[in-house]
């Protein structure tokens, strides 16, 4: 089967390297780009170049930032006594969308996974410990993913800072609107362990 002209085949191959984009989706995107007007294509290309040139990591919390510090660390209205620890910058977005949390963040850059070669030194754990030791922090909220690696990471962070600050973990369990019959054992077990008084 012909892949078409070489530039189209190359674009399809590059797009298929993106996470969650299979060969067929990459081909559809490539054809969309081919049909798009020149200005739209230039805007897309410029946006890709611009994000690589201008977006880096915050020097304080390691969230995504356009300057030395991210907008959250620069916001003096945030509660600096609270630090929410997440694995990746993308994890900050859903927490911010809740409008329930007004503290600061610390992005580890992944989770501990010795089998995959990710050790403590590969993450921003030492930087978190230094932030806590510097003072002014009352609570560290562990919001790592509820996976084996996320749990191991949370346990290690808790070991390192629990003698200096209060350490809490996000509750986990049944999502609102879920049926018990469709819940897996781990989720149901977490929900049972995290049950709360109603009276």
The per-residue pLDDT string of the chain (199 residues; one tens digit each, 9 = 90 and over) reads: 456 789 999 999 999 999 999 999 999 999 999 999 999 999 999 999 999 999 999 999 999 999 999 999 999 999 999 999 999 999 999 999 988 999 999 999 999 998 899 999 999 999 999 999 999 999 999 999 988 899 999 999 999 999 999 999 988 776 777 776 777 777 777 777 777 666 5
pLDDT at 9: 94
pLDDT at 189: 77
Which residues of the chain form CATH 3.40.1360.10? 70-169
pLDDT at 193: 76
Tell me which DSSP letter residue 50 carries.
H
H/E stretch holding 80 reads: strand 79-86
Angle in degrees, 0-180, between the axes of helices 6-15 and 23-35, rounded to the nearest 10: 130
Q: Residue 59 in contact with residue 131, Cβ under 8 Å? A: no
- Tokens read off for 137: 């922090």
Q: Residue 16 in contact with residue 30, Cβ under 8 Å? A: no
pLDDT at 1: 44
What CA–CA distance (Å, rounded) separates 141 from 82? 7
Which residues of the chain form CATH 1.10.8.420? 6-54
The whole-model pTM stands at 0.81
Third-level CATH fold of 70-169: Dna Topoisomerase Vi A Subunit; Chain: A, domain 2 (3.40.1360)
Tokens 């969650």 identify what position?
20
Sign of CA dihedral 88, 89, 94, 98: positive
pLDDT at 3: 65
Third-level CATH fold of 6-54: Helicase, Ruva Protein; domain 3 (1.10.8)
């Amino acid at each position: 089967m012909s892949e078409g002209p070489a530039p189209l085949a190359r674009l399809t191959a590059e797009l298929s390297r993106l996470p969650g984009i299979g060969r067929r989706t990459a081909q559809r995107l490539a054809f969309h780009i081919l049909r798009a007007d020149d200005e739209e294509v230039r805007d897309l290309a410029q946006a890709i170049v611009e994000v690589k040139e201008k977006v880096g990591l915050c020097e304080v919390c390691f969230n995504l930032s356009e300057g030395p510090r991210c907008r959250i660390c620069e916001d003096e209205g945030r509660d600096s006594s609270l630090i929410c620890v997440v694995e990746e910058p993308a994890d900050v977005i859903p927490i911010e969308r809740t409008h329930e949390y007004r503290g600061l963040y610390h992005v580890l850059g992944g989770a501990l996974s010795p089998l995959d070669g990710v050790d403590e030194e590969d993450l921003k754990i030492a930087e978190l410990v230094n932030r806590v030791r510097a003072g002014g922090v009352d609570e560290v909220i562990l919001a790592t993913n509820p996976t084996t690696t996320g749990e191991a990471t949370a346990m290690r962070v808790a070991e390192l800072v629990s003698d200096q600050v209060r350490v809490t973990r996000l509750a986990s369990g049944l999502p609102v609107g879920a049926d018990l019959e469709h819940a897996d054992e781990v989720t149901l077990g977490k929900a049972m362990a995290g049950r709360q008084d109603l009276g």
